[in-house]
Amino acid sequence: FDMVHFGHANLIRQAKELGDYLIVGVHSDEEIAQHKGPPVFNEQERYEMVRAIKWVDEVVEGAPYCTNIPTLDKYNCDFGVHGDDISVLADGSDAYKIIKDAGRYREVSRTQGVSTTDIVGRMLLLTKTHHKRQVKTTFYYWFFIYTFGKISNELKKEKTNVDPTANSPWTGVSQFLATTQKIIQFSSGKQPNPGDKIVYVAGAFDCFHLGHIRFLEKAATYGDYVIVGVHTDREVNRYCGSNYPIMNVHERVLSVLACKYVHEVVIGAPYVVSPEMMDHFKVDMVVHGNSQVYADEHGVDPYEVPKKRGKFVLETSGCQLTTSDIVERIIEHRQTYILRNQKKEEKELANYKMMRNAGPMNGHTVN
Ligand code: C5P
C-alpha cells in the first residue's frame, strides 16, 4: 500500500465484502525493500493511510511479505485476499502459493484503468489529458488527438522494457473509467439524522494524502456528518496551475469517499460557498485547514458567506504535507521506481506466461 490510490481502496472494499471483519496486513519498509525495492512512503505513513480507509477494521503492522498459514491463524483469519495481479517474492515465486494450496485464498478483481505507473506518468510528463474537459470544437478535438498521440509515444519511451511489446497485463498505462456503479459502491449511502450537525469542507483533495486525512479527522470533530466539496479540474487548475490536478475529479471523489471521516461528497463543488449552498445542506460549520485560501476568479473570498454567518473556522491539520510534496517525493524516487517496475514486470510476465500455458486466467474481470 505504497502511494495509496482509489485502486487500493477498491481492493479493500471488495475484500471486506467477502467477510465480516477485515484485517489488512501492511508490510514494513524493510520487508518491502527486500522483495521489491524501497517504498516511497514510510511504514508509519502507510499504516495511517490504510487505517483511514473506511472498510478497514484493523491494521497489522509489519505483516510478512509472504502470507502464510501461521499469519492467518495468528490473527484468526479464515482466508487471505489478493487482487488478480500476481505478487511475487524476491526469488520470483508466488507470494500466495502456500495459502492457495491450503484453500485459504480468495481473489478480487484489480481496478481497471488505474496503476501507480499511470499516475507517475502524469506527474513526470506534466500532461493534462486526464482532466475532464468537454470537447467543444473540432479544433480542440484534433488538438486532443494530436497531443494524445504525442503523449502515448512519450509514455512508451518512458517505459524501459527490453522488448516494448512484452508488457505485463498488470503493470501498464491505462485510463480509468468512472461509472455511477463505482460511486455507489464507494458511497456511504447515509443521510444525516435529524439534529445532526453538518460540517462542510472543500478543496482539491488531489493525490489524497496524510495531510487530507488528518484535516478531515479534525474537521469531523465539529459535527456529526461531513460533506466534502471536491472542486472541478478546471477550478483546481486555475488556482494550482501547471498540470494540476494530477488526479481527475472522478478519481479525487473516489479517494475522498473511501475515507472513514467522510459521509457525502459534492462532485465538482462550486468554488464560492454560497448562501443557497449553506441552506441547501443545512451547514452548521465550514472548516478550512492549513492551506492558503485563494480568491475566486473575480477576487471574491470563497468563504465570505460562512464567515459573515459566524460559521467558519480555520483548523490546522498539524501536517505540512502538500500535493506538490507528494509529487516531488515520487519524482525523486523516479529512477528507483522505474527499475523496480521493470523488475516487477519481468517477474509478472514470466508468471503470466506460465499461467497462460497452464490454462485460462482466473477471474480477470472488470470491477
Ligand atoms: O489543498 P487541498 O485543497 O487539497 O486541501 C483540502 C483541505 O485540506 C483544505 O482545507 C486544506 O487546508 C486541508 N489540508 C490541511 N493540511 C494539509 C493538506 C491539506 O489542513 N497538509
Shared domain check, 259 and 153: no
Q: Of 176, 171, 155, which Cα lies nearest the Cα of 343?
A: 171
Per-residue pLDDT at 341 exceeds 90: no
Atom 9 (ligand 1) nearest CA? 289
Mean pLDDT for the stretch of residues 52-78: 96
Please count the structural domains in the chain: 2
216 CB-contact burial (10 Å; exposed 0-12 / middle 13-18 / buried 19+): buried
What residues does ligand 1 touch, defined as CB less than 6 Å away? Answer: 201, 203-206, 211-212, 215, 288-291, 317, 319-322
pLDDT in tens, 188-239: 889 999 999 999 999 999 999 999 999 999 999 999 999 999 999 999 999 9
Lookup result for grid cell 470491477: 367
Shared domain check, 95 and 215: no
Between CA 293 and CA 301 the distance in angstroms is 8
Q: Of 220, 171, 181, 124, which Cα lies nearest the Cα of 347?
A: 171
CA 215 to centroid of ligand 1, rounded, Å? 7
pLDDT-above-70 percentage for the chain: 80
Asked whether the beta carbons of 200 and 173 are under 8 A apart, the reply is: no
Shared domain check, 112 and 61: yes
- b/e sequence 317-336, b meaning 16+ C-beta within 10 Å: bebebbbeebbeebeebeee
Atom 11 (ligand 1) nearest CA? 289
CA 212 to centroid of ligand 1, rounded, Å? 6
Best probe residue, ligand 1, of 290, 303, 322 (max atoms within 8 Å of C-beta): 290
How far CA 355 is from CA of 11, 82, 147, 351, 359, in Å, comes to: 22, 17, 37, 6, 6
Q: From the alpha carbon of 316, which atom of ligand 1 is closest?
A: 20
CA 209 to centroid of ligand 1, rounded, Å? 9
Shared domain check, 313 and 264: yes
Question: At 46, is the pLDDT very low, low, confident or very high (cuts 50, 70, 90)?
Answer: very high
Atom 20 (ligand 1) nearest CA? 289
**Residue with more model confidence, 86 or 324:** 324
Mean pLDDT for the stretch of residues 299-318: 97
The cell numbers describing 215, all together, are 484535516
Shared domain check, 188 and 314: yes
pLDDT confidence of residue 175: 54
Asked whether the beta carbons of 95 and 67 are under 8 A apart, the reply is: yes
pLDDT confidence of residue 223: 98
pLDDT confidence of residue 358: 65
Shared domain check, 96 and 8: yes
pLDDT confidence of residue 179: 84
Per-residue pLDDT at 23 exceeds 60: yes
pLDDT in tens, 78-120: 999 998 877 777 777 888 899 999 999 999 988 877 777 777 7
How far CA 234 is from CA of 72, 134, 237, 244, 249, in Å, comes to: 47, 11, 5, 9, 9
Between CA 342 and CA 163 the distance in angstroms is 11
Q: Residue 159 falls within a domain, yes or no?
A: yes
CA 318 to centroid of ligand 1, rounded, Å? 11
Q: Residue 106 falls within a domain, yes or no?
A: yes
**Residue with more model confidence, 27 or 137:** 27
Atom 17 (ligand 1) nearest CA? 211
Shared domain check, 14 and 102: yes
Q: Residue 136 falls within a domain, yes or no?
A: yes
Question: At 130, is the pLDDT very low, low, confident or very high (cuts 50, 70, 90)?
Answer: confident
Between CA 242 and CA 257 the distance in angstroms is 26
Query: The CATH number of the domain where 91 resides is what?
Result: 3.40.50.620
pLDDT in tens, 147-200: 444 444 444 343 333 333 334 444 443 456 778 889 999 998 899 999 999 999
| Predicted TM-score of the model (pTM) | 0.82
Atom 4 (ligand 1) nearest CA? 205
Atom 5 (ligand 1) nearest CA? 203
CA atoms within 13 A on the CB side of 136: 1
Segment among 131-135, 264-268, 303-307 with least mean pLDDT:
131-135
Please list the residues that pair with 107 across neighbouring strands. 82
Q: Of 258, 212, 223, which Cα lies nearest the Cα of 53?
A: 258
Asked whether the beta carbons of 204 and 252 are under 8 A apart, the reply is: yes
Q: Residue 188 falls within a domain, yes or no?
A: yes
CA 101 to centroid of ligand 1, rounded, Å? 46
Shared domain check, 268 and 202: yes
CA 105 to centroid of ligand 1, rounded, Å? 39
pLDDT confidence of residue 89: 76
Shared domain check, 290 and 141: no
Shared domain check, 162 and 294: no
Atom 12 (ligand 1) nearest CA? 289
Atom 18 (ligand 1) nearest CA? 211
Per-residue pLDDT at 353 exceeds 90: no
**How many CB atoms within 10 Å of residue 45?**
17
Between CA 186 and CA 192 the distance in angstroms is 17
Between CA 236 and CA 320 the distance in angstroms is 19
Q: Residue 328 falls within a domain, yes or no?
A: no
Atom 16 (ligand 1) nearest CA? 211
CA 38 to centroid of ligand 1, rounded, Å? 27
Task: Provide DSSP, 58-110.
Answer: EEEET--SS--HHHHHHTT-S-EEEESS--B-TTS-BTTHHHHHTT-EEEEPP
pLDDT confidence of residue 249: 94
Between CA 105 and CA 18 the distance in angstroms is 11
Shared domain check, 351 and 292: no
CA 226 to centroid of ligand 1, rounded, Å? 15
124 is in which domain, residue-wise? 1-175+333-367
pLDDT in tens, 250-262: 999 999 999 999 9
CA 211 to centroid of ligand 1, rounded, Å? 6
Q: Apex CA 66: angle with CA 61 and CA 71, to 5°? A: 60
CA 291 to centroid of ligand 1, rounded, Å? 5
Q: Which residues contact residue 247 at a Cβ distance below 8 angstroms, ignoring those fewer than 6 apart? A: 5, 119, 130, 206, 207, 208, 255
Shared domain check, 31 and 74: yes
